[in-house]
Amino acid sequence: MRGTFSLEHGQPCYWCNSDAERCSSPGGRLRPIRWSGMFDGANHGEREMKEGKELYKPGDLPAGTHVEPCPVCGADAQLWQYSTDFKTGPIEKVLMCSNGEKFGPQDGLTNEGCLLYMPPQDFYRGRIAEAVKFWNEYAKALNAQRRDRNWKRAKVLREVPPNAGNERPPVGGPID
């Protein structure tokens, strides 16, 4: 498991070391510690780059690569690289949902965004092609399950009630 995040009342922000209430990050929206390489402004990412503590870096997809939208919320997916040591260590590639916006009853700082905003360990792969293939297969499988369940759920809407007659009145004729 890659690091966890728990910002308790009065605990300093991981990036700027200020209290959580006074954090200078834009909109007060930060990704968890395990996302320390994310660049969401306020020079946090720049300082992390200088100190060499980044765990995630954005990646570039090869030209012409097809990536399915997020199967949970429909947002675009983004390629990220993960490593505890970008100079000498292995670098894993992962596609993640780009939707980090708070919605519904989410409680804020650590639980904002889509469920695939920080996907599980299975999504991390050694090569970009493997990460894209896993993401696309996962997205297609989840969407197929959703379509199948929706079709079964909507069966009631497709059924003809037993008391409905199959005869239609003639056009312009009386309805009895």
Which residue has better confidence, 162 or 58? 58
| Type of residue found at 26 | P
45 contacts 54 by C-beta, under 8 angstroms: yes
pLDDT(20) > 90 = no
For position 67, what pLDDT does the model report? 97
Burial of 110 (0-12, 13-18, 19+ CB in 10 A): middle
Edge-to-edge strand ranges of the sheet holding 92-97: 56-58, 77-82, 92-97
Closest CA to 97 of 71, 121, 125, 61: 71
Residues 67-119 pLDDT 10s: 999 999 999 999 999 998 888 889 999 999 999 888 888 776 667 889 999 99
Q: State how far the Cα of 118 lies from the Cα of 115, in Å rounded to an integer.
A: 7
pLDDT number for residue 175: 60
Q: Are 49 and 86 in contact (CB under 8 A)?
A: no
pLDDT at 157: 75
Tell me phi and psi for residue 55, to 5 degrees. -105, -25
pTM above 0.85, yes or no: no
Per cent of the chain over pLDDT 70 is 60
Evaluate if residue 169 carries a pLDDT over 80: no
